[in-house]
Structure 1
Amino acid sequence: MDKDPQGLLDSSLMASGTASRSEDEESLAGQKRSSSQALGTIPKRRSSSRFIKRKKFDDELVESSLAKSSTRAKGATGVEPGRCSGSEPSSSEKKKVSKALSTPVPPSPAPAPGLTKRMKKSKQPLQVTKDLGRWKPADDLLLINAVLQTNDLTSVHLGVKFSCRFTLREIQERWYALLYDPVISKLACQAMRQLHPEAIAAIQSKALFSKAEEQLLSKVGSASQPSLETFQDLLHRHPDAFYLSRTAKALQSHWQLMKQYYLLEDQTVQPLPKGDQVLNFSDAEDLIDDSKLKDMRDEVLEHELTVADRRQKREIRQLEQELHKWQVLVDSITGMSSPDFDNQTLAVLRGRMVRYLMRSREITLGRATKDNQIDVDLSLEGPAWKISRKQGVIKLKNNGDFFIANEGRRPIYIDGRPVLCGSKWRLSNNSVVEIASLRFVFLINQDLITLIRAEAAKITPQ
């Protein structure tokens, strides 16, 4: 097995490349003759006789060397062999050739020199650049390694993961182009030579396993527990059979995969039963008795589910009836909270975590339990196990003043002053209300309170 895929590819492609280069040189010489015929009728233009050489790329250097050897071998074009090696004729020689060709032959409808140059440049590289953009150098190296390992393009299509999702036809066309197209093969080889050694090592580690490699691995028994030393010894005993980048770890993982799919020599797969004994899914469904699949009715469970459903519907109906009685709206406080007041909010009891919107003239404060429902549940703000179930009441008088009455066992502190059980205190705007280490700020909607006071003043004289 050849261990250098790039060298194999280069040697297989250079023979076909030389013949194609010589044919291209002959076609280019014919085009130069036609352009010189066309120049015979054009008025003479002043130009320099010096030939300014430009730098040549690597592929052009190879082409020019091939052209030199081919023209020297032929040497019968009416011009001296030294002139055919790439040097341009002088201006006087150009005039002689143009006069000799223009007198007996009428000017042919040849394209202008600018068009011929464009045609020369855009003759072939379009397909090459398009093809090279689709196929990366890493893909070409993967393809070459995989074909050398398996000799089967279908296996390469199924087993190799390229950078793009290529079809089987595209892989076949690319492989034939690498073999028989000199331009594509040459550019691909140059691109593969420029790959980093680490990238080449990573690509070689992904090479498919050949049949000879899998045959050697299948001889390792499935009942044994082979270690890395076992596969390392296998590599030393068969260096020619295994690929150059194989490691003991890679052989062990592939052996485990073969063992999983019963591909080892000492493994056998039980054959499927033949004849009428084969049972498919439709036959199995026919054998199932539908009456046995039905569960027996549990009357106790059905009664419990009915009672629970009736209870939930009753709670939903009760909540719907109490929607219009809700007096306080609890809202969580975030960094971008909405304005505290709207047209229906009389005041706000604002805490650190939540805020309570007062939308009626009287609300109750305390700790909500299952049996005791209140308007303001202080347990939403923090630990409220020291707070009474009904701690206090906040009322709005007709004159627009707010008062808080303490009905719990613990005192309520208003701006640092204690309000004992059974007492009440007037609340002003920005008053600090502290109940069992929970602090709130009482904010009053001044615009709405002003309207309430104005309406109360109109009603009072009547």
Structure 2
Amino acid sequence: MQSGDSTGASVGVSGVQSRSEDEESLGVKDVKRPSAQSFGSGVPKRRSSSRSIKRKKFDDELVESSLVKSSSRVKGPPLIEPVRCLGSELSSSEKKKVTKSGTPLTMVLNPPPMAKRVKKSKQPLHITKDLGRWKPTDDLLLINAVLQTTDLTSVHLGVKFSCRFTLLEIKERWYALLYDPVISKLAWQAMRQLHPEAIAAIQSKALFSQAEQALLAKIGSTSQPKLEVFQELLNKHPAVFHPYRTPKSLLVHWQLLKQYYLLDDQSVQPLPKGDQVLNFSDAEQMVDDVKLKESRDEVLEHELMISDRHQKKEIRQLEQELPRWQVLVDSITGMSMPDFDNQTLAALRGRMVRYLMRSREITLGRATKDKQVDVDLSLEGPAWKISRKQGIIKLKNNGDFFIANEGRRPIYIDGRPVLSGNKWKLNNNSVVEIASLRFVFLINLELISLIKAEAAKMTQQ
């Protein structure tokens, strides 16, 4: 029984505690609700218009809209504090609100302080500069050449590097090797890794200094020095010559000095004056023609002979056709050309071409594959309306020219139509129109007068 009472008492106590907790929670909720309601009654709701035209906002609406925008931007729960507005003029609508609610309230938002960004200090990167186009062999060549000549211009002209460097690039590289610790360190490390044979080959290519050239220039140009002479020179002056010099290299350089007249006993000869100057014709006579003759090529000569034979055959055919030509067609240019020669009786001159009449009778028309005419009018322009044999121009014994129409379409002479089967006399400067093609008929009056005189003599006899 005691245990049952104790359990009942504990249940009762727990029930009382749960009720008290519920009441407390309800009390808190009731307390929170009126505070929220009272706060909501203090801030008027925003009035928005449904009209499409925007109107000017009042002061209270401006305050409310700014509060809404700022509250939407701030993250986290904003802190709201009532603040009394002092020393500010109020509008009529605001004065009414003040009389009703007492003191006006404004929303003051205190956003939480933003965490400052901590900039990470950039650690210096250890960058090794690349040697670029300069190879270790180039650096070694540059150092040896500068030590020999002490002149960067001579180095630029005399040293053959792995690639072409300008004088400015050579200067920059030399100054970098002297004063840039990073580049000089990398260059020395690369040069130390070269093979001994490569180093010896580079050292042997070092330029000759002025002291070395002065000693070599003392050897006479008329003498024929041998390698022993240069070996003795190396033994006498070991401090002057480069340690990698050999008697053979000295001999080669001495021969170059002799070739360019740089030895002490040599002098540059002036050019000969007067008749002693060798001109081109004298040099041509001195050339042996026998040495210039080439061996004969029989195949080439046979081909040339065949081509020559074909060309001569074509020339003969053209010469045989020349007397058959009765009309020569010449292109008319802007230059004034003589219309006649000693063999031309008359000329039919158009806009594009000129037809020369050299026989007593010629035919006019449109040339085709089947039928040829003396004067092809299609060369002047469109001739598809012209007959293949349009007409004939004939010179009579009395010196008069007549044209006979043998085509379908009429021929107009100075505007007068000549129908098919009729004839008409042609005078000098007569205009001949055939199917919209116009020509001027010109007569060689001098030649015609001679023909008339000969005809008169023949009749008298």
TM-score (norm 2): 0.35
Larger Rg computed on CA atoms: 2
Q: Which has the higher contact order (CA 8 A, sep 6+)?
A: 1
The structure with the largest helix share of the pair is 1
TM-score (norm 1): 0.35
